[in-house]
Amino acid sequence: MKMLINGELRDKKAKIEVINPYDNKLIDKVPEGSKEDVMDAIKAAKNAKKTMNDLSSRKIYEILFKISLKLKDNIDNFAELITLETGKPIKDSKEEIKRSIQTIELSAEESKRVYGETVPMDATIGGKGFIGFTIKIPLGVIGAITPFNYPINLALHKIAPAIATKNTIVIKPSSQAPLSLLKLGELFNEFLPPGAINIVTGSGGIIGDEIVKNTDVDKISFTGSVKTGISISKRAGLKKLTMELGGNDPLIVLNDADIEEAVLAATRGSYLFSGQVCIAVKRIILQNSIADDFLQKFVKKTRQLKVGDPMDPKTDIGPLIDENSAINVEKRVNNALKDGAELLCGGKRKANFYMPTVLDNVTSKMELVQEETFGPISPIIRVKDIDEALKVANDTKYGLQSGIFTQSIKNALKAAEKLDTGSVLINKQPTFRTDNMPFGGFKMSGIGKEGIKYAVEDMTKTKLVVINSN
Ligand code: NAP
């Protein structure tokens, strides 16, 4: 597949190989873009600003709506490509595309609601006789950088609101999973003026670096790891930043919880896409009195998961994105075991696969739960009461989402107040996102919010107009 720059597909001699994580076979090659390529893309995006700005909001709505219909016609093709390049189970890839369609629809709708407000100037001394109002104008060029795990929907959380607000965009996908986005780019390119959307493949250190530093880029919208996020913040200068970074989400289960429901939530939350999800359940915090009951049911559910070929519609757990990632998970589990954790099931690696694993008697000090562990691992931390549970839950540098199971409104409200995370889910796993909700973490998990309405707000600037009617 080829890059998309100024409305044209561009190839290069130098290539990046895209490998199927299931069998380590080559799927395709994409161009290894250079600094010149990304500079061309930024120039094209800059030049396309006026054309985009001249389009009516109605036209933008129609364009986005047509693209959503095209994607609807191609759910299976896009889902298969995601599964090939990421190893995501096909049923989850289909879910991603269904959500992606909604992400575009929501953006189409939001494109009709980009407007300012009137300002009551005469409420101040000196303001009498003045009429003030604000207008929302596009920022200009959005620079976007995305990770491997939701290659279409996370990219769309940047592309679709950028287009809805008449911005132009240059986006760099993950080098591990660039194919589905390149294919999606061709869909957008059918309907948009040249240069409105540009997709440049290549290394983070070259393509990403230029997007981050180039002064013709007005905003960086990044989704990825904390490490890359911090390095981007240091280089971005005075650009607006949205940072959607890593997570270490806790799921608390108290003694008054519906245990069956909590077990289902923990299973879905811990093992979705083999735990390679920013909002996966990364720590399960159990009140002592229900811990044994919960674990007996949870280990049974974990053992029932079907591990195997991600193209098989029955598969729950596919491979990790590459062998290094699986080795990293293996090391952290082994270290936790050395430090006193107890293996209840799993604990084995085979090439890129890591078996769904439950570990009891984990403590907050272990690297397995101090850092974000991107694998199908359920570390169990036992606590005596809600206060200890909340303390343990907050004992992390991350603050993306959190979940608590309890039947007590008092406990639920206490958790909502005390948990230091961007969202608190009550009687639901934190592995939950609707594409219109404000989404974004506290602490090291990020800066700003996505979710279409919130991204739209962040991709515009406010201009004030004052009329002297004295
Ligand atoms: P990553 O290693 O940080 O890479 C993300 C993107 O950054 C890739 O496109 C990468 O390019 C690029 N990049 C790497 N170095 C760069 C540099 N120096 N300058 C600019 N860009 C650079 O993350 P990942 O492993 O793909 O994804 C997993 C991480 O993303 C996890 O931490 C997960 O929690 C987080 N995530 C967060 C959210 C959220 O919404 N909060 C959602 C999904 C994932 P290359 O691929 O070419 O290296």
Tokens (6 digits) for 205: 């250190």
Q: Whose CA is nearest to atom 26 of ligand 1?
A: 147
If asked whether residues 337 and 454 sit together in one domain, one would say no
DSSP state of 272: G
> Is 440 inside a domain boundary?
no
CA-based nearest residue to 317, from 329, 342, 361: 329
If asked whether residues 291 and 382 sit together in one domain, one would say yes
Q: What is the pLDDT of residues 301-336, one digit of tens each?
A: 999 999 999 999 999 999 999 999 999 999 999 999
pLDDT of residue 434: 98
| CATH number of the domain where residue 46 is located | 3.40.605.10
> Is 343 inside a domain boundary?
yes
If asked whether residues 269 and 402 sit together in one domain, one would say yes
Measure 440 CA to ligand 1 centroid, in angstroms: 15
If asked whether residues 92 and 46 sit together in one domain, one would say yes
Q: What is the pLDDT of residues 22-49, one digit of tens each?
A: 999 999 999 999 999 999 999 999 999 9
| CATH number of the domain where residue 346 is located | 3.40.309.10
Measure 414 CA to ligand 1 centroid, in angstroms: 34
Where residue 101 falls among pLDDT bands split at 50, 70, 90? very high
> Is 294 inside a domain boundary?
yes
What is the SS3 assignment for 406? Answer: coil
If asked whether residues 241 and 351 sit together in one domain, one would say no
Are the C-beta atoms of 352 and 320 separated by less than 8 Å?
yes
pLDDT of residue 275: 98
> Is 241 inside a domain boundary?
yes
> Is 70 inside a domain boundary?
yes
Tokens (6 digits) for 102: 């909604």
If asked whether residues 42 and 65 sit together in one domain, one would say yes
If asked whether residues 311 and 223 sit together in one domain, one would say no
If asked whether residues 286 and 403 sit together in one domain, one would say yes
Of the chain, the percentage scoring pLDDT greater than 90 comes to 100
Count of beta carbons in the 10 Å neighbourhood of residue 345: 17
Ligand 1, residue 173: give the atom nearest the CA.
Answer: 9
- What's the rounded mean pLDDT across residues 181-193? 97
Tokens (6 digits) for 468: 């002297």
What Rg, from alpha-carbon coordinates, does the chain have? Answer: 23
If asked whether residues 269 and 154 sit together in one domain, one would say no
Measure 146 CA to ligand 1 centroid, in angstroms: 6
Residues in the ligand 1 pocket, defined by CB under 6 Å: 145-149, 154, 172, 174-176, 203-205, 208-209, 212, 223-225, 228, 231-232, 244-247, 278, 372, 400, 446
Where residue 283 falls among pLDDT bands split at 50, 70, 90? very high
Per the structure, the complete domain to which residue 285 belongs is given by: 249-434
- The domain tally of the chain equals 2
Q: How many helices (H) and strands (E) does the chain have?
A: 16, 24
Q: What is the pLDDT of residues 342-387, one digit of tens each?
A: 999 999 999 999 999 999 999 999 999 999 999 999 999 999 999 9
If asked whether residues 223 and 337 sit together in one domain, one would say no
> Could you give the CA distance from residue 195 to residue 169 in angstroms, rounded to a whole number?
8
Q: Whose CA is nearest to atom 24 of ligand 1?
A: 147
Mean pLDDT of the chain: 98
pLDDT of residue 86: 98
CA-based nearest residue to 157, from 354, 437, 447: 437
Q: Which pTM was predicted?
A: 0.98
Tokens (6 digits) for 114: 């980009």
Count of beta carbons in the 10 Å neighbourhood of residue 397: 13
If asked whether residues 110 and 92 sit together in one domain, one would say yes
pLDDT of residue 386: 98
If asked whether residues 14 and 84 sit together in one domain, one would say yes
pLDDT of residue 141: 98
> Is 439 inside a domain boundary?
no
